[in-house]
Amino acid sequence: MHRCFPLFLALALPASAAEPVGVAEFEAFATGKTLSYAVGGTVYGAEQYLPGRRVVWAFKGQQCRKGFWYEEAGQVCFVYEDAPAAQCWTFSRDGDGLQARFSGDPEGAEPARVQEADPLTCAGPDLGV
């Protein structure tokens, strides 16, 4: 995801303390929910996780993008209708939410923060999901 998708801030756990969650655990946590994504404590987007590993992503105040996710080598990879290159992440538990590390981030980069959020509101032509 040309870094357009989930970036999060982990405030509670140092990187070495977080154990990655498996893909099945990620799917159980996310399916049926809307999750917000934040960096530096500022929410910049949200994603709705639908059955069948389908997703709808929107940057705050922008149009929604439909896509899907799949597992590859223990990572969760996302593909969107307007960005066919896979964007892969490793998720770890962080309190009541998750932290995520983008596969292309340099060593020592701050992880992103993911938390359950209000239902997704889409701007533009897709006014709801």
Q: Amino acid identity of 55?
A: V
Residues 6+ positions from 3 with CB-CB distance below 8 Å: 87, 102, 104
DSSP 105: S
Whole-number pLDDT of residue 10: 33
Residue 98 clears pLDDT 70, i.e. is over it:
yes
**Do residues 96 and 33 touch, judged by C-beta distance below 8 A?**
no
Tokens describing residue 41:
């404590």
Q: What is the pLDDT of residue 109?
A: 77
Hey, what are 120's tokens?
């997704």
Check if the beta carbon of residue 56 is closer than 8 Å to that of residue 120: yes
pLDDT, residue 124, reads 58
Specify the pLDDT at position 123: 65
Q: What is the DSSP letter of 73?
A: T
Cβ neighbours, 10 Å, residue 5: 25
The residues spanned by each domain of the chain are 15-116
Q: What is the mean pLDDT of residues 45-53?
A: 95
Tens-place pLDDT, residues 36-46: 988 889 888 89
- In the chain, the percentage of residues whose pLDDT exceeds 70 is 81
**Residue 106: CA count within 13 A, CB half-sphere:** 0
pLDDT of residue 12: 34
pLDDT mean over 49-73: 94
pLDDT by residue (tens digit) across 20-37? 899 999 999 999 999 998
pLDDT at 21: 92
Q: What are phi and psi of 17, to 5 degrees?
A: -90, -20
Report the greatest alpha carbon distance in the chain.
43
